[in-house]
Amino acid sequence: MLKEWLVSREAECHYLRRWRSVVMVISRYLFFIHSPRVTIESMVKTFRPDPHFHAETNYYVATQNQALSLPSLAGAHHADVCIIGAGLTGLNAAIELRQRGYDVVVLEAETVAWGGSGRNGGQCLVGYCLGLRELHETYGPSWGKQLWDLSVEAVDIVRERIQTHQIDCDFQSGYIELALNVSQQKELQSWYALKQGEYQYPVAQWWDKTQVAAVAQTDRYLGGLYDPNSAHLHTLNYTLGLAQAATLMGVKIYENTPATALVKGQPHCVKTQRGQVHAPQVLLACNAYLEGLDRQAQAKVLPVASFIAVTEPLGERMPITNRMAMSDLNNCLDYFRPTADGRLLFGGVNHPFNREYKDSAQRLHQRMTKVFPQLSTVKMDYHWGGMFAVTRSYMPHIDHLGNDVYTAHGYTGHGVGLTNIAGRVIAEAMDGQASRFDVFSHLKQGWIPTPKVLRSPALALAIWKAKLEDLLG
Ligand X SMILES: Cc1cc2nc3c(=O)[nH]c(=O)nc-3n(C[C@H](O)[C@H](O)[C@H](O)COP(=O)(O)OP(=O)(O)OC[C@H]3O[C@@H](n4cnc5c(N)ncnc54)[C@H](O)[C@@H]3O)c2cc1C
Q: How far is the CB of 235 from ligand X (least distance, A)?
A: 7
Question: Is 233 near ligand X (CB under 6 A)?
Answer: no
Whole-angstrom CA distances from 423 to 193, 236, 268 are 30, 18, 20
Q: Which is nearer to ligand X, 292 or 473 (CB)?
A: 292
Applying CB under 6 A, the site for ligand X has a residue count of 45
Question: Is 424 near ligand X (CB under 6 A)?
Answer: no
Question: Which of 96, 108, 227, 328 is the binder for ligand X (CB under 6 A)?
Answer: 108
Angle of helix 132-164 versus helix 235-249 axis, rounded to 10? 60
Length of the chain: 473
Interface of this chain with ligand X, residues 259 to 278, rule: CB under 6 A: 259
DSSP assignment, residue 283? E
Question: Is 258 near ligand X (CB under 6 A)?
Answer: yes
Are the C-beta atoms of residues 389 and 304 closer than 8 Å to each other? yes
Question: Is 414 near ligand X (CB under 6 A)?
Answer: yes
- Alpha-carbon gap, residue 59 to 381, rounded angstroms: 8
Question: Is 84 near ligand X (CB under 6 A)?
Answer: yes
Question: Is 176 near ligand X (CB under 6 A)?
Answer: no
Question: Which of 127, 319, 352, 415 is the binder for ligand X (CB under 6 A)?
Answer: 415
Quickly list H helices, 197-280. Answer: 209-215, 235-249
- x/- map, 117-156, ligand X, by CB under 6 A: x-xxxxx-x-------------------------------
Question: Is 294 near ligand X (CB under 6 A)?
Answer: no
Q: What is the DSSP string of 130-142?
A: S-HHHHHHHHHHH
- x/- map, 300-329, ligand X, by CB under 6 A: ------x-x---------------------
- Alpha-carbon gap, residue 413 to 394, rounded angstroms: 9
Question: Is 169 near ligand X (CB under 6 A)?
Answer: no
Question: Is 89 near ligand X (CB under 6 A)?
Answer: yes
DSSP assignment, residue 406? E
Q: Tell me phi and psi for residue 387, to 5 degrees.
A: -115, 135
The H-or-E segment that residue 254 falls in is strand 252-254
Question: Is 344 near ligand X (CB under 6 A)?
Answer: no
Q: Which is nearer to ligand X, 18 or 274 (CB)?
A: 274
Q: Are strands 172-179 and 252-254 parallel, antiparallel or unpaired?
A: unpaired
DSSP helix/strand/coil, 24? helix
Question: Which of 43, 105, 107, 132 is the binder for ligand X (CB under 6 A)?
Answer: 107
DSSP helix/strand/coil, 172? strand
Are the C-beta atoms of residues 441 and 430 closer than 8 Å to each other? no
Q: Which is nearer to ligand X, 160 or 374 (CB)?
A: 160
Q: How far is the CB of 73 from ligand X (least distance, A)?
A: 10
Question: Is 287 near ligand X (CB under 6 A)?
Answer: yes
The H-or-E segment that residue 41 falls in is helix 40-45
- Alpha-carbon gap, residue 85 to 87, rounded angstroms: 6
Question: Which of 81, 85, 188, 224 is the binder for ligand X (CB under 6 A)?
Answer: 85
Question: Is 347 near ligand X (CB under 6 A)?
Answer: yes
Q: Tell me phi and psi for residue 98, to 5 degrees.
A: -65, -40
Which residues make Cβ contacts (< 8 Å) with residue 268, sequence separation at least 6?
82, 262, 278, 279, 280, 281, 282, 403, 404, 405
Question: Is 88 near ligand X (CB under 6 A)?
Answer: yes
Question: Which of 54, 115, 188, 394 is the binder for ligand X (CB under 6 A)?
Answer: 115
Question: Is 94 near ligand X (CB under 6 A)?
Answer: no
Question: Which of 80, 103, 110, 156 is the binder for ligand X (CB under 6 A)?
Answer: 110
Interface residue list for ligand X (CB under 6 A): 84-90, 107-110, 114-117, 119-123, 125, 258-259, 285-290, 293, 306, 308, 347, 385-388, 409, 411, 413-417, 419
